[in-house]
Structure 1
């Protein structure tokens, strides 16, 4: 199974977007809000492989390490601009991205960083990875058996 990418940016290549079953939005983002529109744009750009505008990333991402990303492989994006308190937490893999939750900076205040976030989502992330792995293996077997034409390399 592929490992989590620990990149400070979303790769500019098309990826599937999955929302884990444990998805949370304790901030209660409204559908007509700029934060919701930002979430839709993030999802769309990931799906199409379009580069995400710099305003969604931390302003100091190149000069200061992100401890949550480095230790847990969990990335966060700001919903609008680098100074917003509304964040999207996600995990990036080579072919897909898993959305975990929308929240504020509280996960950076736990010791160790991200403890609550991982305890809330780790089982559902593992289940998602297993489901994706099984689907990929089933597709590989169908191709091998000649029952499904090869559509990708």
Structure 2
């Protein structure tokens, strides 16, 4: 049964990598199309939005690849160091997601200020969610560091 679950995790990780590559390919397509229609896209004012959207796709792809890497290392290859692995991977994943949220919020702020200023509350709420995630991550890291120091002390006491 354990061997079967490893195969399933390997398939899931491969599928995630394929989806991440698709996102990066779409980002490259958007940038390429923007450069091919440069005079038109510059006059419409959408060039910056296209580039920032593409950056967002790449950042999300990086987060997906990181999850796939974690699946491969932990579940397929069997490197189980759950406590320290989680403490290392979780902050990186949350940071990447926060960056994507901040990028999307930034794009929406600029679009909203040009279109309808009354709708500015929605991008601001999105940015506040990004701030809350960042503050939550800082609290998590603070408690995680304290916990790691406590574990190191108890190991020294046992020796």
Q: TM-score band, normalised by the shorter chain?
A: 0.3 to 0.5
Q: TM-score, normalised by structure 2?
A: 0.33
Greater helix fraction, Structure 1 or Structure 2: 2
Radius of gyration: which is bigger? 2
Give the structure-1-normalised TM-score: 0.34
Which structure has greater strand proportion? 1
